[in-house]
A and B are shown apart, each in its own frame.
Chain A
């Protein structure tokens, strides 16, 4: 894949929709395209967070450690961004991301990611929108789960 091709791919991702192509080219040049095969982990819960990943192709499972194994809390597909929480809040990874198929990602290292947010408010807003979205989904699921638990408890 050439740089030009990567820019075209990035342009299709909503996160980068409002960014100038020249800046996208710079981003593509300075980040790494990493391919994961099915079953490989992009990162593991508890590891230090050193990069964020934009999924260009494929899908992955979001797993969280529980007393009796891992629970899948979400699935991420093309155009999604993962790994941002650990960088933004400076905490260890909050979940494990495992590839469900062959996954092509754009790996953006921590410093470059933060620079991206600082330099492109549009991207920052998009990231906030993504996080807000996740939060509302999580809240909804939490409410459902709590209700179920409540019912079972009676």
Chain B
């Protein structure tokens, strides 16, 4: 909405001074000329103009109001239509369709009446304009004629001059009136936009001031006095709660839903201001702390995860980006640009802080610089049990070998190590590596010829059968005919096996070469090409059949269509393909090279550099385990995890599973080493044993080597049974704090604690 309202402002600003100057100049010139010729005629013209200038805006004003009302009604109508669409089943179920019809009809009528009136006025204004601009010359002729013929005080030439000059008058006047209208309009728009940004409820500037230094650590006790929280509707989230907790204590908070347990954690996290009472940390009121203190010394992990659409690593260090700590150096053009940016930002009242600075507060994480970030992240990931997940993401990730030549080299090392390991074990047949001089039986004919990964469209799988270059290479050795006939055989077999099965038969799930719908098309194609050779077949039929043979893998399809002779010929085609590859297509494929890293394949595929044999039980898992041990041996695990950290989590983190998102939120909260960690049911997606492990890990992780707690924990537990592992438990019931003690003391007959804990089982 803001965007639509602001656009006309910029259009107007460009012409705001030019238009009136130009137009009034024009009008004034014409008017003066007429005056000079004959003051009476001049008076006539002037009075008509004045009349126009008064009347038209008045009429226009009403039109604008109508226009606004029409806009509102049109929006309401659109909303109503949307509502009807959503609730159409209700309408049918209740026989209220005629009621809805009456409503829509009424709305359409109202809008029509508004439009009708609006256009009537519009045409009236037009009529008025035209009338006035025509009546004036009439008057000139009439009155002027009188002066010329009867009174003889006026010359015919003068009269004609006046009439001609008058032609120049109505347009500028009309345009001036329009300009004035636009001016009013724009002013209204401007105030409408500004109003959106005025609010009484804005936080003070000081609370979010930029703070370059690290604030002092919090210390003392957390003291909550008579906390009560009610919602706007009057519902009480917390009736009363008072407690004192040492800052570094591990406190569990339990209670049923709406008991106040969740609400108190939100109060502690400064998300829910209490309607009564106060919370102090040490001698400072929690809600008076500036965000530079509360945001850096307190962490909150809630039930909802908020991840930004960027890499895992960026999401993790997000919690450290408080202030621009290291500004970049600008030179030349960039420097000028930056200065201009700063001055414009100042004039608009925006911040001049530089997004390109290094905002990461390494000190807060206990690091001395950017190089140590990944190490620290690894530590934290171990605490939240995300290491294996990141490792797997890393295996599936891509890298740019030009940017990371060291890593690429070591992956090649891993590749040969894997190869050696496999050939010297009883798993020798597990992987068929890509060897430029051997046909790879475990992959398709197409991949064997191309021997590389396709970049972009040219060599994409579904377009291969029509690729000019590929076809020409095959034609040279006569392979095109051979593969065409092979395709026909494959189609024949499939049709023989599948043609009398219904299309939804489960066996189709195992047919990869075509879908059930393709079968009739292939039947038709086969009948067209039977008895006809390759030259005479249509390009479409050729493409259809070649597609089949391109996807053929002997061990998978077992139609015994490949023999050694054919394999040798295909190998020769491979060499011919890469040898004569034209410049234009060189960037459309990355060829497999045993000595180099393939930038289009994942890390794992680069280590494997081959295809897993069909028919070996658990083949994929065995290979995976071998790759893991190879990476462990070469000490490449951290490097792979680093690649995993580059993974983009998608909008709202949806590329990750919810368990991973929740763990990531915790990791982000921990990386800044807060004084107080507040967790509010942050792990609903984890199962009981995973939750137990998480609690154990966190409670252990916050202790230093001497066993002292460095961070206070305030945890609203999803599973009350875990409260036994904490130093103290706060029990909430019906909005009030009913019990506060260590878990052993609370574990007695009749206590609220024991009720919740046994229920939890």
A interface residues (Cβ-Cβ under 8 A, vs B): 1-4, 6, 22, 25-26, 28-37, 40, 42, 109, 111-112, 114-115
Contact between B558 and A3 (Cβ–Cβ < 8 Å)?
Answer: yes
Chain B, residues 79-120, CB within 8 Å of chain A (1/0): the string is 000000000000000000000000000000000000000000
Q: B317-325, B336-344, B615-623: which one contacts chain A?
A: B615-623
CB–CB B560/A3 < 8 A: yes
Within the complex, the shortest CB–CB distance from A92 to chain B, in Å, comes to: 18
On whether the beta carbons of B617 and A115 are closer than 8 Å, the reply is no
B507 at the A interface (CB under 8 A): yes
Evaluate contact between A22 and B615: CB separation under 8 angstroms: no
Chain A nearest CB: distance from B718 CB in Å?
27
Q: Choose among A2, A22, A114 the residue that contacts B559 (Cβ–Cβ < 8 A).
A: A2
B617 touches A30 (CB 8 A): no
The interface residues of chain A lying within 8 Å CB-to-CB of B497 are: 22, 25-26, 29
* Range class of the B interface residue count: 20 to 34
- Are B510's CB and A6's CB within 8 A? no
Chain B residues with Cβ below 8 Å from A114 are 506
Given the complex of chains A and B, what is the CA–CA distance between A147 and B505 in angstroms? 50
A29-B497, A111-B506 as given contacts; A4 in contact with B616, CB under 8 Å: no
19 additional A-B pairs beyond A1-B558, A25-B497, beta carbons within 8 Å, are: A2-B558, A3-B493, A3-B558, A3-B560, A4-B560, A6-B558, A29-B497, A29-B557, A29-B558, A32-B614, A33-B614, A33-B615, A34-B615, A34-B616, A35-B615, A36-B617, A37-B617, A109-B509, A112-B509
Q: Which residues of chain B in 599-623 are interfacial with respect to chain A, using CB atoms and an 8 Å cutoff?
A: 614-618
Residue of B nearest to A23 (CB): B497
Query: What are 14 pairs between A and B in contact, CB < 8 Å?
Result: A1-B558, A3-B559, A3-B560, A22-B497, A26-B497, A28-B558, A29-B493, A29-B558, A32-B615, A33-B614, A33-B615, A34-B617, A37-B617, A109-B509
B493 / chain A contacts, CB cutoff of 8 Å: 3, 29
Number of A-B contacts (CB under 8 A): 59
Q: In angstroms, how far is the closest chain A Cβ from the Cβ of B633?
A: 23
Interface residue? B209 (CB, 8 A): no
Write the residues of chain B forming the contact surface with A, with a CB cutoff of 8 angstroms: 426, 493, 496-498, 501, 505-507, 509-511, 557-560, 614-618
A111 touches B615 (CB 8 A): no
Residues in B neighbouring A29, C-beta threshold 8 A: 493, 497, 510-511, 557-558
A35→B507 CA distance, assembly (Å): 22
With A and B bound together, what is the CA distance between A112 and B511 in angstroms? 12
Distance to closest chain A CB from B677 (angstroms)? 38
Q: Is the CB of B510 within 8 A of A37?
A: no
Which residues of chain A have C-beta atoms less than 8 A from B614's C-beta?
A: 32-33
Residue of A1, A3, A35, A109 touching B617 (CB-CB under 8 A): A35
A32 to B618, CA, bound (A): 12
Q: In whole angstroms, what is the CA distance A31 to B510 when docked?
A: 8
